[in-house]
Chains A and B, each alone.
With several copies, the nearest count.
Chain A
Amino acid sequence: MNELAVLDLVLEQELDRNPDLVFLATSTPPSWRTRFGAERVRTCPISEPAMVGAALGAAMTGLRPVVDLNRASFAFLVMDQLVNHAARIHYLSDGSYRAPMVLTSATRGPQQLGPQNEQCPYGVFMQTPGVRVAVPGSATDACALLRTAVRDEQGPVLLFIAPGLADHCDLRAALAAEPQPFGVAHRVREGDAATVVAIGSAVHAATRAGDELAAEGVHVELLDPRTLVPLDLPALAASVLRTGRLVLVDDGPRSGAPAQILAALLDVPGVALALGGRIAHVSAPEVPVPSSPVLEAQYWATPERVTAAVRRLTAAA
């Protein structure tokens, strides 16, 4: 069951819509078991590796499994099944088998879960080919991307959900959201002063920073990639080529998704020259996430940190 409750409503609708959809989790809603049966809604022992392996086998033979991994830190329990198997089977079988399956998990919220259970490991999956990675920046996008993921035929999808998305959730809009194609960034605001790329829970902070800067006449372009694999590199590169400034904003460490995005961008002809070093990061330190809220405070991409980064870049040139 999801930290972002509206996703459970979406999943319920999708279970209703597609009889091949099955749900695996260590804890499942009793009402789903009644409604869809224990064969489609499977309460599993605490066996995440086997659950993901089973999801792969089910996907290869025609079902559409969704595994709720609960915490993103549990992704590290299932890496062999996910990376060495699910992500490789289409390639290994040279296209004979496909493995459409979805893994959902929660990243970080101010829940003080500590160094083990507060993590944003999506950057890892940007360098393990064969999985697609969605990190929505709003509850509405989360719902839309979940719908796409469970209807998609292409292969494994990881959906990383920041619990904080619940704070700004327009329930009606979220539930009504149509499936959204992967690989299409959302332009949250337009502008020329700098390109701000924000991910997941950091999108909200970046939006507030954008508003604040706009009030001062500094108009940044704010892009939420929504999916990291595939990444909407054309949109990101076009923006950066235009603004000549890049701020990467994430609640994970910069060695994660930000490093991956940056390296990918620099590979686009002209980007490095356009940027000329005007790159800033607002991200978590390169150490685990501590429990004490006082220690954790500096792990959040706050609007203040984002505006400061933009000001630094715009002042520089």
Chain B
Amino acid sequence: MALALPADPAVSPMDPPQDGGLDLVAAYKAMVLIRAYEERILQARTDREVIGPVHPYIGQEAVAVGVCAALQPRDHLVSHYRGHGHALARGVDLDALTAELFGRADGLCGGKAAALVSDPATHLLLSSGIVGAGIPVAAGAAMTSQVRRDGAVAVVFFGEGALGAGVVHETLTLAVAQRLPLILVCENNGYQGATRTEEVYPETSVARIAEGHRMPVHRVDGNDTLAVHAAAAASVAVARAGQGPAFIEASTYLTRFHLQFDRPSGERRPAEELDGWLARDPLDALRGHLLAAGTAPDLLDALHSEAERRVEAAVAFARTSPWPAPELALTNLWAGTP
């Protein structure tokens, strides 16, 4: 039987899976939205509508969606500069996110943050531009859950490059010693900007590091939404039960490139490597699953056009949002200031 298209087309924090399982259509929908969004945002950057650097998430959608589907609204999230995917999978408001990327008044952060967004509505704490720096912040959110005994967990996304940064290792030590309900999600895409990971690490997998810290590790195919979700759901269950942190290493790949400013990126990956990964596109993989399970192709195609429509509407919203009043640059230095 084909799964029904959810009535509400808004992306929202997914309901906790009833049976530990994943709503595959909802997941596909979210991934399609992210893909459409990223493509559009790159274009908008080239058109100089989006401000600042754009780090596209294209190719890694299964990780954000697989993980966020295992979360509840009360959980906390930390992202980084490559964060649109995480934000959308978490249900951050599409219009406000887009207006933020456009530097407008209706932006999620009033135009102050651009891509480095925070969103209390979805418990998205921050998206740091500094590699690894958000990881201890997520640990702090996990401390709060522990003190409050509220059963929430904290999840942090990062690239494998973050394992270069000392503060990440510090957090691993802290999280294990204090049994924090913290789930570390490493999106290992084999690159750290222009540097290939094997140039700077003895082995490209970083699971060995988490193991050294005696933290439970799940190594998964990061392009397999179900595998990611299963690892996340298992980790979340353990963490909620007060049994401490977990580390998920999801192998994946950026099929576009690391970064672009106002011109399309000139970055080129080895053709064979790229082709291999394109053949394993996470959207295609999940689509295959769905079709095999009997989902009607039309339904899935409709999700694509729906996503494009929604993205276009968000762009339109951002375009018509006013620029922030200049004097707002001086506000909110700390709470209680104007």
Contacts and interface: CB of A to CB of B under 8 A. Distances in A.
Interface of A: 20, 22, 26-27, 38-40, 42-47, 49-63, 65, 73-74, 77, 80-81, 84-85, 89-98, 100, 111-117, 129-130, 132, 153-156, 285-288, 290-299
23 contacts: A39-B146, A45-B161, A45-B201, A49-B136, A51-B174, A53-B136, A57-B138, A61-B76, A73-B129, A85-B130, A92-B113, A93-B112, A95-B331, A97-B126, A98-B335, A154-B336, A155-B334, A155-B335, A290-B329, A292-B112, A293-B103, A295-B324, A295-B326
Interface stretch (B29-37, B163-171, B243-251, B300-308): B163-171
Which of B126, B137, B192, B336 counts the most chain A CB atoms within 10 A?
A: B137
Given A54-B137, A61-B140, A61-B144, A111 B334 contact: no
Contacts of B165: 46-47
Contacts of A43: 195, 199-200
Given A84-B130, A291-B114, A46 B109 contact: no
Contacts of B125: 57, 60-61, 97
B316 interface: no
Which of B133, B135, B162 counts the most chain A CB atoms within 10 A?
A: B133
B202 to A, nearest CB: 11
B330 interface: yes
A295 B111 contact: yes
A267 to B, nearest CB: 16
A294 B195 contact: no
Given A43-B200, A54-B143, A96-B119, A295 B329 contact: yes
Contacts of A112: 51-53, 103, 114
B170 A291 contact: no
A193 B143 CA distance: 54
Nearest to A37: B147
A94 B112 contact: yes
Contacts of A65: 140, 143
Given A81-B167, A89-B126, A115-B112, A94 B140 contact: no
B109 A92 contact: yes
B288 interface: no
Given A54-B174, A100-B335, 4 more contacts: A43-B200, A58-B144, A58-B147, A62-B144
B194 A111 contact: no
A22 B143 contact: yes
A90 B138 CA distance: 16
B274 interface: no
A43 B170 CA distance: 13
B323 A50 contact: no
Contact of B113 (A50, A93, A298): A93
